[in-house]
């Protein structure tokens, strides 16, 4: 596609017509010209994308505040429009954690988009929050103790995504004098969940969606507290070094199963390591300043995270993370002066306190196992229809001609125990049950050893977004994504091939494991 030059109108507030969109009312619109701006994105920082070298450019920043009449909300959308060269495309940016989109981290993704000639847009969903873990989410989520602002939650979950997209498309037409040719979404974690929402609820808005490590099944996240519950029940909190040692023992047992002894499990499901086999083993523990023994509690947590051996009297809906998720997240402890205490991940803790108990002062350490099960069920009942998954029908997205790509890390001690790749596969396979042709418009790539979106020792697929564009615009469906890791402490990187699920990359048994040609995609 050839680039378009120079806008039809100047970047001035008075030059823009207030968009008229059913169901919302624009409260304020401002347009500010930004000149000689240097836009870039460092490597391994912008999920779905590679490095974007610095580019100096001018752009028009259109900021819109709108409301849904009767709801007393005020949602901000920012739209960056390249002033001199536009590639005819829109790239909207998703959020992460409890952030809907407009946040320091997401501004880097917006910079990368305009550097490549895209118009880019993001929204705060009307939530004036600054903490990605939700430590200040009560400021928007609670109208008062005991009362959740469900309209604000719906804005966060879905409604603001539609608004932002329609506003951005209207502004594009006004500024450039023509409609956008192709619309793309790029998001990870909560942004990945947002991408799934767009595909399902608003299937005609985006031609292509890159949704990595999607934070699906939000209503089930209470389940992630089970490791803390177990430690509270037992009154014992393992040393962090126990989790590190268990991971090392597991890798010693399973690393070579894929033919490449590289510290990465290519197919984690093939591992059969039993954490109980090292119960009582003495290990060096820098945390304690001495040797300690691997405890029963640490083993129970490992069995639950890796092998789904969780408390039988809890009706878990989500999947255990599998080998070899980070035990130090679900079984997190902090230690001082020889004493360790539980240290719950804030994403789960804030969900329980703010949205389910609706009481920011509630102490989960007082919770019984029955109380935990009641809390889990309450969360599903109250929030599945708002921010969970009620069905798996993507046929509207298919009929609209959309294409979607998801990649997700699977392990090596830094994978997603909170956002498990098994839950992503649960979503994909459930979609496939309804539509066996799902592979024609939605593909999942599992990334062994990769952390949450980026990070970890595994290889990162920095060509994901460009592969999506090729699929949408040229009909070239990606069968594999070539991927490279971030440099380790001594500057070493690894190269791997990621395969479209259900295929996996298999080492051919000879040749350099860092040569892409040494890996083949097979079922």
**Rounded to an integer, what distance in angstroms lies between the CA atom of residue 190 and that of residue 214?**
6
Catalytic residue among 163, 262, 326, 416: 416
Residues ≥6 apart with Cβ < 8 Å to 70: none
324 is catalytic: no
**Rounded to an integer, what distance in angstroms lies between the CA atom of residue 481 and that of residue 55?**
26
DSSP 123: E
* 414 contacts 456 by C-beta, under 8 angstroms: yes
- Alpha helix (H) residue ranges in 97-225: 104-115, 138-141, 150-154, 160-176, 190-201
Q: Which residue has the tokens 């836009």?
A: 39
* 449 contacts 513 by C-beta, under 8 angstroms: no
Cα of first residue to Cα of last residue in the chain, in angstroms, is 36
Cβ atoms within 10 Å of 264's Cβ, excluding its own: 27
* 108 contacts 45 by C-beta, under 8 angstroms: yes
Q: Could you tell me the two tokens for 378?
A: 């309450």
**What are the E-state strand segments in 402-472?**
403-409, 442-447
State the pairing for strand pair 333-336/85-86: unpaired
So what's the pLDDT on residue 52? Answer: 94
Q: How many helices (H) and strands (E) does the chain have?
A: 14, 21
518 is catalytic: no
**Rounded to an integer, what distance in angstroms lies between the CA atom of residue 283 and that of residue 238?**
13
**Rounded to an integer, what distance in angstroms lies between the CA atom of residue 402 and that of residue 287?**
50
Q: Could you tell me the two tokens for 12?
A: 């001035």
3-state secondary structure of 398: helix
Q: How far is CA 143 from CA 158, 172, 351, 355, 382, in A?
A: 20, 36, 15, 11, 16
DSSP 377-392: HHHHHHHHHHHS-S--
**Rounded to an integer, what distance in angstroms lies between the CA atom of residue 181 and that of residue 129?**
33
So what's the pLDDT on residue 230? Answer: 94
Q: How far is CA 355 from CA 87, 174, 324, in A?
A: 42, 40, 30
Per the DSSP assignment, residues forming a β-bridge with 81 are 60
**Rounded to an integer, what distance in angstroms lies between the CA atom of residue 178 and that of residue 173?**
5
**Rounded to an integer, what distance in angstroms lies between the CA atom of residue 490 and that of residue 267?**
26
DSSP 127: -
So what's the pLDDT on residue 4? Answer: 65
Catalytic residue among 189, 332, 483, 518: 189
How many Å separate Cα 284 from the centre of its chain? 35
So what's the pLDDT on residue 329? Answer: 79
512 is catalytic: no
* 41 contacts 118 by C-beta, under 8 angstroms: no
So what's the pLDDT on residue 413? Answer: 42
**Rounded to an integer, what distance in angstroms lies between the CA atom of residue 111 and that of residue 503?**
34
* Model pLDDT for residues 435-475, shown as the tens digit of each residue: 999 999 999 999 998 988 888 888 999 999 999 999 999 99
Q: What is the pTM of this model?
A: 0.95
DSSP 243-267: HHHHHHHHHHHHGGGGS--SS--SS
Q: Is the dihedral of CA 297, 456, 460, 85 positive or negative?
A: positive
3-state secondary structure of 518: helix
3-state secondary structure of 69: coil
Point out the residues of the chain with pLDDT beneath 50.
412-415
Catalytic residue among 452, 483, 485, 518: 452
So what's the pLDDT on residue 130? Answer: 79
So what's the pLDDT on residue 106? Answer: 83
483 sits in which H/E element: strand 480-484
């Amino acid at each position: 596609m050839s680039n378009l030059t120079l806008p039809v109108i100047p970047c001035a507030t008075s030059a823009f017509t207030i968009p008229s969109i059913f169901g919302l009312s624009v409260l304020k619109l401002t347009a500010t010209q930004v000149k000689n701006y240097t836009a870039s994105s460092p490597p391994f920082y912008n999920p779905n994308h590679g490095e974007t070298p610095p580019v100096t450019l001018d752009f028009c920043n259109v900021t819109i505040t709108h409301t849904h009449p009767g709801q007393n909300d005020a949602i901000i959308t920012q739209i960056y429009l390249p002033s001199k060269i536009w590639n005819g495309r829109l790239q909207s940016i998703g959020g992460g954690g409890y952030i809907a989109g407009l946040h320091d981290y997401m501004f880097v993704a917006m910079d990368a988009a305009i550097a490549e000639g895209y118009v880019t847009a993001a929204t705060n969903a009307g939530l004036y929050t600054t903490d990605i873990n939700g430590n200040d989410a009560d400021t928007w989520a609670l109208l008062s103790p005991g009362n959740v602002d469900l309209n604000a939650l719906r804005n966060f979950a879905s409604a603001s995504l539609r608004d932002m997209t329609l506003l951005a498309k209207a502004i594009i037409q006004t500024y450039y004098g023509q409609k956008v040719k192709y619309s793309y979404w790029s998001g990870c974690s909560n942004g990945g969940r947002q991408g799934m929402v767009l595909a399902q609820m608003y299937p005609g808005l985006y031609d292509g969606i890159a949704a990595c490590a999607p934070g699906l099944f939000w209503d089930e996240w209470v389940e992630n507290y089970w490791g803390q519950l177990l430690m509270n029940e037992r009154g014992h909190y393992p040393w962090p070094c126990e989790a590190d040692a268990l991971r090392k023992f597991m890798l010693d047992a399973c690393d070579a199963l894929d033919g490449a002894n590289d510290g990465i499990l290519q197919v984690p499901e093939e591992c059969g390591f039993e954490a109980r086999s090292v119960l009582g083993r003495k290990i060096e523990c820098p945390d304690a300043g001495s040797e300690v023994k691997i405890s029963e509690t640490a083993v129970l947590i490992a069995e639950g995270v890796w092998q789904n051996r969780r408390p039988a009297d809890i009706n878990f809906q989500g999947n255990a993370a599998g080998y070899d998720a980070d035990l130090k997240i679900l079984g997190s402890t902090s230690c001082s002066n020889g004493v360790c205490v539980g240290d719950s991940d804030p994403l789960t803790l804030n969900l329980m306190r703010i949205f389910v108990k609706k009481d920011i002062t509630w102490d989960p350490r007082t919770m019984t196992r029955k109380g935990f099960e009641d809390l889990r069920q309450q969360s599903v009942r109250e929030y599945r229809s708002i921010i969970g998954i009620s069905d798996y029908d993507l046929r509207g997205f298919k009929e609209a001609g959309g294409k979607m790509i998801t990649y997700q890390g699977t392990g090596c001690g830094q994978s997603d125990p909170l956002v498990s790749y098994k839950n992503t596969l649960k979503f994909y396979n459930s979609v496939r049950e309804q539509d066996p042709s799902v592979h024609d418009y939605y593909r999942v790539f599992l990334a062994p050893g990769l952390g949450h979106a980026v990070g970890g020792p595994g290889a990162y697929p920095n060509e994901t977004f460009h592969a999506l564009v090729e699929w949408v615009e040229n009909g070239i469906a990606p069968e594999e994504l070539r991927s490279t890791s971030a440099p380790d402490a001594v500057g070493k990187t690894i190269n791997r091939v990621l395969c479209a699920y259900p295929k996996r990359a298999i080492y051919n048994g000879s040749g350099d494991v860092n040569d892409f040609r040494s890996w083949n995609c097979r079922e």
